[in-house]
Amino acid sequence: MSEQHNILIIGAGLAGLYTALTLAPRPVTVLSPMALGYGASSAWAQGGVAAAMDKKDTPEAHALDTINAGDGIVDADIAAFVTQAAKEHVLELAEVGTPFDRTPKGDFVMSKEAAHGFARVVRVKGDQAGAAIMKTLIEEVQNTPSITVIEGATALDFIVKDNAMQGVVVSENNTPPYVIQAKAYLLAAGGAGSLYLKTTNPPSVRGLALGMAARAGAVIADAEFVQFHPTAMDVGIDPNPLATEALRGEGAILFNKHGERYMLGVHPDAELAPRDIVARANFHQHQAGNVPVLDTREAIGAHIKDEFISVYRYCQQAGIDPVTETIPIVPAAHYHMGGVATDRNGRSSIKGLWVSGEAASTGLHGANRLASNGLLEALVYAATCAGGMMQTIEAGQGQEFVTDLVTPDLGYQGVNDAAVMELRTIMSDKVGVIRDGVGLAQALRDLHDLDVRFGGVSTNFDNMLVAATLIAAAAYNRHESRGGHYRTDYPEKDDKLKHRTEITYAQALALRDSL
């Protein structure tokens, strides 16, 4: 038996909810693993949405910064498309009530973040953009009768035949699974940050979308590129609270226990160098026991209380007064540039499956995402996917409902916490900020061993293992350093490798099993 719906959206972060609203009044069903607003990275985003809103700024300049940050492998057409569409979506969010910060004249207040040539990040009360946008969208969703949200529902598995979607296996609050069929499916279930010990992502964001799509045969792109945020707080809290890059945009500086402002010797833009460069410098300082800290005292002072409410609240939780004290920091997994490969219209390699948000790899981010392009991409591709799904269904080309589906026998219980910690340790130690071939091969063997010991019990954990295996395999295969992927055995860029990569789970397994 299966339930039949028109459009099924898997995930209730920014990408999922914005798609659902774009599709209204057409009926859609949204799966939200937790209560709406909880468990989605979007709500934790502090920076905001990057868009050329200022008259002196242009989408072309924004696209160029995106391409430069992406370190040679951004798809220029996608960058042009997304940056052109940016302003329209910011205005749309403002229209539905997002309380963006404004100047006394009513213009948008814009933050400057690393590798942007212009202050072009629209924000809410300094660092509240993600939470405020999500609150606005949730209110809209709750007032839109065409949207059905199933809270507590987690997608475990795709049923695919002849490379076409037939259904999604869903478990509600760890109860026996059932199948939902739809005419079109959107996967918008987030990234993979919590596959690592240090992360700025919610615990539920741990490669589940990537793993599920890959097990169903989807092509995965750029899996090796994980972005580590340079300034997560190192205050003993898991996940690590984020100290937004906008603080450095306002002039906050980094130094170590020797009083050395080390970024001055690393890059001409010092603390505002591309994110991967600052992350590696901070990682080296941390590993060397030099205790890197972020100092907001002179640049921001007491304004931090009103202008960076989240950061101030986290500091208070950790017993730090950032007005008079520095903030210990460490790089932490923040964003996965890789994901399910999509075409210009957000379609995956599986018929009937669209993907948006961090779960997707559109080609916008290349090897290193430009700050605040994540929420932007989620908005633009949510709208693109909505249009594509609608047209497909209206043309009578949606997926057929099948009557003889068999629900696969899946493990639907919660994951084993000890196994998760082992997996996160493998990823942090061997597939982290600094990598090498020996460590990556060992990571693949260790993940295999985890699979032997814990695989097949919890499909959620299997999806995590698959995602981790794909990231490690793609990192093993890329014999160079570029953007967020740095290998000590191949420390330079290789022009022959100046391209995006694709991998399937079958290929990753073949590599794993050959080592």
Which residues form the catalytic set?
A: 275
Residue with Cβ nearer ligand SIN (109 or 405): 109
User: Based on CB atoms, which residue is closest to ligand SIN, 31 or 272?
Assistant: 272
Cα of first residue to Cα of last residue in the chain, in angstroms, is 42
User: H/E element holding 428?
Assistant: helix 417-430
Position 154 contacts ligand SIN (CB under 6 A): no
x-or-dash string of contact with ligand SIN, 314-343, rule CB under 6 A: --------------------xx--------
Shortest reach from residue 298's CB to ligand SIN, in Å: 20
Nearest to ligand SIN of 5, 229 (CB atom): 229
Q: Which residues contact 122 (CB under 8 A, 6 or more apart)?
A: 48, 49, 51, 53, 90, 100, 101, 108, 109, 110, 129
Question: Which residue's Cβ has the minimum distance to ligand SIN?
Answer: 47
CB of 390 to ligand SIN, least distance (A): 29
Q: Which is nearer to ligand SIN, 75 or 358 (CB)?
A: 358
Edge-first strand order for the sheet with 339-341 is 360-361, 339-341, 220-221, 502-503
In eight-state DSSP terms, residue 416 is: P
**Sequence letter at residue 141:** V
Candidates 54-62, 74-82, 238-246, 467-475; binding stretch for ligand SIN (CB under 6 A): 238-246
CB of 113 to ligand SIN, least distance (A): 6
374 binds ligand SIN (CB under 6 A): yes
Work out whether 41 is an interface residue with ligand SIN (CB under 6 A): no
CA distance 88 to 80: 14
CB of 370 to ligand SIN, least distance (A): 8
Verify binding: residue 46, ligand SIN, rule CB under 6 A. yes
The reply on whether position 47 binds ligand SIN by CB under 6 A is yes
Does position 372 bind ligand SIN by CB under 6 A?
Answer: yes
Binding pattern for the stretch 244-273 against ligand SIN, x by CB under 6 A and - elsewhere: xxx---------------------------
Distance in angstroms (rounded) separating the CA atoms of residues 354 and 446: 32
Consecutive H or E run containing 169: strand 164-172
Which residue in this structure is represented by tokens 């080609």? 363
Contact residues for 355 (Cβ-Cβ < 8 A; gap 6+): 186, 187, 188, 209, 213, 339, 340, 342, 346, 347, 348, 385
Handedness of CA 272, 205, 207, 14 (dihedral sign): negative
Name the minimum Å distance from CB 369 to ligand SIN. 7
Binding residues for ligand SIN, per CB under 6 A? 46-47, 244-246, 334-335, 371-372, 374
